[in-house]
Amino acid sequence: MEVTVSCCQFEIKKLNSFSAFEKQVSDTFEQVPLTSDYVLFPELTTLGLLTSFDHFSTFALKDYRKLTDFLDDYKKLFSSLASERQQIIIAGSTLEEEAGEIYNTCFIFEPDGSIHRHRKTHIFPGEAEWDTAEGDALEVFEIGPVTFGIAICYEIEIPEINSIYQQKGADIIFCPSYTFTPHGFWRVRHCAQARAIENQVYVIHCPTKGNREGIIYPGHGNASILSPCDLNWEANGVVVEAKENTKVITASLSMDALYDNRQDGAATTVKDRQRRKELYTIGKV
């Protein structure tokens, strides 16, 4: 079985309205093949909408919460696109409010109108001034042809999260990210590759890009679709990687190659981690 995945290298832009954001999204989809099963956008996909406020120049970091004003329109837009295109859209993340708390939430849109979500469980220290709360669920999603997990940026740097996803049946981990420095990008990228190797899964890494505007930090990095570094794939584990000005990358991923790798690969890390798990108790000598 093959699964086709598209990863959208979405850019932070100055926007004067939600309609301008909608056009940016539509323009991006023009480069997404209709044959893709899954389409991924980056963390805080809606960030440019902050610039649509007349008084944006006076905003402080706590005003990131104003992204919640656009949540209904965001849901309507991506739900409509998922239905029209008959694709599963993992629409990056945006901010949502519930019971007075603000969450960095990744929304998943199905063609039938169903909407699912994953709230970021580990807030990166640099996000503290955004005043976002942490989610408490590590669920996998059996939507479309495979089971997958969502690791929002810093979550890919927490090995336990992704190990849990694999143990719950995930074959793909989607990683929307937003990193403020090249160092941050490479931390996430290297960890995404490590998670692919140690869990024998595909990892789809989708960073937000763009220059600084007011309180909006610059976004760094290039999108990539990653595999375990084993004989079924390229030696460096990179299935495809975006160039600087690329908007969308797409790849067909063999699930059979992944399953074979878990049984007979040069490095069967998933099996071996289970085989010697009695050694992993803290304090074991």
pLDDT, tens digit, 9 for 90 and up, residues 142-185: 999 999 999 999 999 999 999 999 999 999 999 999 999 999 99
By CB atoms closer than 10 A (0-12, 13-18, 19+), residue 120 is buried
Write the pLDDT tens digit of every residue in 86-118: 999 999 999 999 999 999 999 999 999 999 999
Domain count for the chain, please give it. Answer: 1
Query: What is the number of other CB atoms lying within 10 angstroms of the CB of residue 181?
Result: 13
Which of the residues 7, 8, 106, 153 is marked catalytic?
A: 153
DSSP character string of 103-133: EEEEEEE-TTS-EEEEE-SS--GGGGGG-PB
Q: Say if residue 283's pLDDT is above 80.
A: no
Nearest C-alpha neighbor of 94 from the set 42, 46, 156, 22 = 46
Least confident of 4-18, 54-68, 253-267, 271-285: 271-285
Strand, helix or coil at 81?
helix
Name the catalytic one among 7, 106, 110, 120: 120
- Residue 203 sits in a domain of what CATH number? 3.60.110.10
Looking at residue 249, its pLDDT comes to 97
pLDDT tops 90 at residue 31: yes
Closest CA to 5 of 263, 251, 260: 251
- The band of 244, judged by pLDDT with boundaries at 50, 70 and 90, is confident
Flag whether pLDDT at 285 surpasses 70. Answer: no
Above 60 in pLDDT, residue 229?
Answer: yes
- When pLDDT is cut at 50, 70 and 90, the band that residue 1 belongs to is very high
What pLDDT score does 284 carry? 53
- Among residues 7, 43, 106, 175, the one annotated as catalytic is 43
In a domain, 85, yes or no: yes
- Is 153 among the catalytic positions? yes
Alpha-carbon dihedral of residues 190, 193, 199, 200, nearest 10 degrees? Answer: -170
Q: Nearest 5°: phi and psi at 270?
A: -65, -50
Distance (Å, whole) CA 82 – CA 177: 21
Q: Which residues contact 268 (CB under 8 A, 6 or more apart)?
A: 200, 261, 262
Q: Is the pLDDT reported for residue 126 higher than 80?
A: no
In a domain, 24, yes or no: yes
φ and ψ at residue 81, rounded to 5 degrees: -65, -40
CA–CA gap between residue 61 and residue 214 (Å, rounded): 10
Mean pLDDT throughout 254-262?
A: 94
pLDDT band of residue 213 (cuts 50, 70, 90) is confident
Q: What's the domain range around 7?
A: 2-280
The predicted pLDDT at position 282 comes to 78
Written as six digits, the tokens of 163 are 């190990």
β-strand partners of 254: 2
285, part of any domain: no
State residue 236's pLDDT score: 94
The verdict on residue 126 lying in a domain is: yes
> Does 227 reside within a domain?
yes
